[in-house]
């Protein structure tokens, strides 16, 4: 196949160069040149007939048939929900995550456990045997090999060949593992380079839209947390899902960062088991465990993850600093925010924490960004400091401001309902929290300042 002409474009100023240079001669930025396709004539010749035949023309919006409905539901409720209720025909979903977090596992088990859907799993990273070994492991629990009769594996990295196989097989879903391993003949650059990744994704997208084949692309994440190289990809695709979690813990969160067909407030929670990823239906129950008592420094926060209320254990340890400078360390909670809360306690509420080491941890390896967890953090710190346990049946939902005031949180009613469901009998929320209907079995205590909570708890 004749080579497509390509050129090197500076990603900073847009200047075009005929060869790769370390520094852009126009804007003098380093390492900004990326290989891009100059004209697509040759490439189109190689693309499938269905793509070529489609000639777009203006069409009145009223005449466009509404496409809501033919979403394909998945047997995995968590994934279905995060996608907004199933897979939309012709959509492209990018799923990103650190290596080893379970992206391949999630998509292979999706491919295996949806017999109504013919899935083509394109693996550029693992051989057929490796995929088979993983599939056997995943099938252990589900037993029946027949569930996977509709799953096809292809170890190919050339986009044009992949398109040919898709045309022949006509799958209902294509999984690409991973986008960084693909390469298109249109560019000389090596697989994984920004130019290749972007061009491959663009080809996949044109193909998906033209043929109506939904695709899921797996993308690796760099150390900085970006979907490697192709931050640009996030603009092109329809949905971006982030698969995250602590590799040392069993829980994994599937979070939509962008969704053209649904809300980004959803959240999927999984547990990594020996036989694959199992959806967690009642995460609060799992996270809180079957404790019969909570020692000092351990309190429960009623937070929201996406749209789901989630009760999480906040653990604090306060001890006298051995060295001159006290240590502050935090897992799952923003360290700067912890420092701010400690300063509030010191300055506004008169607790002498300046000479104390403070360690904070959220159980289960979760990360909570929501300020509603502040009140629980403050109570955990003070409980550990005084070495007095907070009663088992209390939980907290409130943001703490710089003056020591407790501020209302959103969706308080959902949090209260979840707390009541799990057997808590008291929940502390801010004065003026809106939308609160009384819930049976739980007392809602309104507080305006941190000191009032302490008066309630420790007398």
Q: Can you give the binding site for Mg ion, defined by CB under 5 A?
A: 104
Q: Closer to ligand TYD at the Cβ: 35 or 244?
A: 244
Please name the helix (run of DSSP H) or strand (run of DSSP E) that holds residue 200, with its range, or none.
helix 194-211
Closest CA to 448 of 380, 412, 401: 401
Q: Closer to ligand TYD at the Cβ: 138 or 241?
A: 138
Q: Closer to Mg ion at the Cβ: 42 or 156?
A: 156
Q: How far apart are CA 23 and CA 110, in angstroms?
A: 44
Q: Which residues of 181-213 are buried (b: 16+ CB within 10 A; e: fewer)?
A: bbbbbbbebebbbbbbbbbbbbbbbbbbbbbeb
CB of 267 to Mg ion, least distance (A): 22
**What are the distances in angstroms from CA 50 to CA 139, 375, 385?**
36, 58, 69
Q: How far apart are CA 305 and CA 65, in angstroms?
A: 35
| Bridge partners of residue 272, in order along the sequence | 277
Q: How many Cβ atoms are within 10 Å of 90's Cβ, its own excluded?
A: 17
Considering CB distances under 5 to 8 angstroms, the limit depending on partner class, which of Mg ion, ligand TYD, none binds residue 409? none
Considering CB distances under 5 to 8 angstroms, the limit depending on partner class, which of Mg ion, ligand TYD, none binds residue 114? none
CB of 126 to ligand TYD, least distance (A): 8
Q: Closer to ligand TYD at the Cβ: 80 or 105?
A: 105
CB of 162 to ligand TYD, least distance (A): 19
Q: Environment class of residue 440 by beta-carbon count within 10 Å: exposed (0-12), middle (13-18) or buried (19+)?
A: exposed
451 φ, ψ (degrees, to nearest 5) = -60, -35
Q: Closer to ligand TYD at the Cβ: 264 or 275?
A: 275
Q: Closer to Mg ion at the Cβ: 91 or 104?
A: 104
CB of 425 to ligand TYD, least distance (A): 38
CB of 99 to ligand TYD, least distance (A): 4
Q: Closer to ligand TYD at the Cβ: 218 or 341?
A: 218
Q: Closer to ligand TYD at the Cβ: 124 or 398?
A: 124
CB of 78 to ligand TYD, least distance (A): 16
Q: Please list the alpha-helical segments (H only) found in 212-334.
A: 233-236, 283-288
Closest CA to 376 of 450, 295, 289: 450
Q: Closer to ligand TYD at the Cβ: 63 or 248?
A: 248
Q: How far apart are CA 15 and CA 27, in angstroms?
A: 8
| Bridge partners of residue 359, in order along the sequence | 317, 329
Residues 24 and 143 sit within 8 Å (Cβ to Cβ): no
Interaction mask 113-152, ligand TYD, x per CB under 6 A: ---------------------x--xx--------------
Closest CA to 112 of 148, 73, 150: 148
Considering CB distances under 5 to 8 angstroms, the limit depending on partner class, which of ligand TYD, Mg ion, none binds residue 99? ligand TYD
In the DSSP assignment, the letter for residue 94 is E
- Which residues contact residue 87 at a Cβ distance below 8 angstroms, ignoring those fewer than 6 apart? 71, 72, 74, 93, 173, 214
CB of 76 to Mg ion, least distance (A): 17
CB of 88 to ligand TYD, least distance (A): 24
438 binds ligand TYD (CB under 6 A): no
Binders in 72-111 for ligand TYD, by CB under 6 A:
97, 99-105
Please name the helix (run of DSSP H) or strand (run of DSSP E) that holds residue 123, with its range, or none.
strand 119-123
Q: Closer to Mg ion at the Cβ: 104 or 433?
A: 104
Considering CB distances under 5 to 8 angstroms, the limit depending on partner class, which of Mg ion, ligand TYD, none binds residue 97? ligand TYD
Please tell me the count of residues contacting ligand TYD according to CB under 6 A: 15
Considering CB distances under 5 to 8 angstroms, the limit depending on partner class, which of ligand TYD, Mg ion, none binds residue 134? ligand TYD
Q: How far apart are CA 113 and CA 362, in angstroms?
A: 33
Q: Closer to Mg ion at the Cβ: 104 or 109?
A: 104
Please identify which residue in the block is written with the tokens 């969706």. Answer: 411
CB of 367 to Mg ion, least distance (A): 22
Interaction mask 261-300, ligand TYD, x per CB under 6 A: -----------x-xxx------------------------
Q: How far apart are CA 179 and CA 170, in angstroms?
A: 20
CB of 414 to Mg ion, least distance (A): 35
Q: Helix (H, G, I), strand (E, B), or coil: what is residue 261?
A: coil
Considering CB distances under 5 to 8 angstroms, the limit depending on partner class, which of Mg ion, ligand TYD, none binds residue 407? none
CB of 346 to ligand TYD, least distance (A): 43
| Site for ligand TYD, rule CB under 6 A | 97, 99-105, 134, 137-138, 272, 274-276
């Amino acid at each position: 196949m004749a080579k497509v002409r390509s050129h090197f474009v500076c990603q900073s100023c847009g200047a075009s160069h005929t060869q790769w240079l370390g520094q852009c001669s126009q804007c003098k930025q380093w390492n900004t040149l990326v290989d891009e396709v100059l004209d697509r004539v040759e490439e189109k010749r190689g693309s499938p007939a269905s793509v070529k035949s489609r000639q777009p023309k203006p069409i009145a919006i009223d005449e466009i048939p509404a496409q809501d409905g033919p979403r394909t539901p998945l047997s995995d409720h968590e994934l279905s929900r995060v996608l907004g209720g199933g897979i939309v025909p012709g959509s492209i979903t990018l799923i990103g995550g650190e290596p080893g977090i379970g992206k391949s596992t999630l998509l292979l088990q999706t491919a295996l456990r949806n017999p109504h859907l013919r899935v083509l799993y394109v693996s550029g990273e693992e051989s057929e045997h490796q995929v088979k070994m993983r599939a056997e492991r995943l099938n252990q629990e589900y037993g029946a090999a027949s569930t996977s009769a509709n799953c096809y594996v292809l170890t190919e990295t050339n986009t044009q060949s992949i398109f040919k196989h898709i045309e022949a097989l006509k799958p209902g879903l294509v999984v690409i593992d991973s986008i960084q391993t693909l390469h298109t003949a249109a560019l000389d650059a090596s697989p994984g380079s920004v130019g290749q990744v972007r061009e491959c994704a663009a080809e996949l997208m044109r193909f998906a839209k033209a043929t109506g084949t939904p695709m899921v692309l797996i993308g690796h994440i760099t150390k900085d947390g970006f979907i490697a190289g192709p931050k640009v990809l996030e603009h092109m695709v329809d949905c971006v899902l982030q698969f995250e979690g602590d590799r040392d813990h069993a829980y994994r969160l599937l979070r939509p960062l962008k969704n053209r067909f649904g809300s980004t407030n959803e959240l999927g929670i999984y547990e990594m088991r020996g036989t694959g990823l199992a959806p967690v239906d009642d995460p609060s129950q799992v996270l809180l465990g079957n404790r019969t008592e909570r020692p000092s420094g351990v309190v429960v926060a009623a937070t929201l993850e996406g749209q789901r209320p989630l009760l999480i254990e906040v653990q604090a340890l306060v001890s006298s600093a051995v060295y001159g400078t006290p240590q502050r360390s935090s897992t799952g909670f923003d360290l700067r925010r912890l420092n701010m809360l400690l300063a509030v306690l010191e300055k506004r509420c008169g607790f002498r924490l300046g000479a104390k080491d403070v360690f904070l941890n959220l159980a289960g390896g979760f990360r909570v960004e929501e300020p509603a967890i502040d009140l629980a953090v403050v109570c955990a710190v003070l409980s550990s400091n005084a070495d007095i346990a907070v009663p088992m049946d209390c939980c907290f939902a409130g943001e703490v401001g710089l003056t020591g005031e407790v501020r209302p949180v959103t969706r308080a009613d959902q949090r209260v309902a979840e707390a009541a469901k799990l057997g808590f009998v008291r929940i502390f929320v801010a004065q003026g929290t809106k939308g609160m209907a009384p819930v049976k079995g739980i007392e809602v205590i309104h507080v305006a300042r941190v000191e009032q909570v302490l008066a309630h708890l420790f007398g």
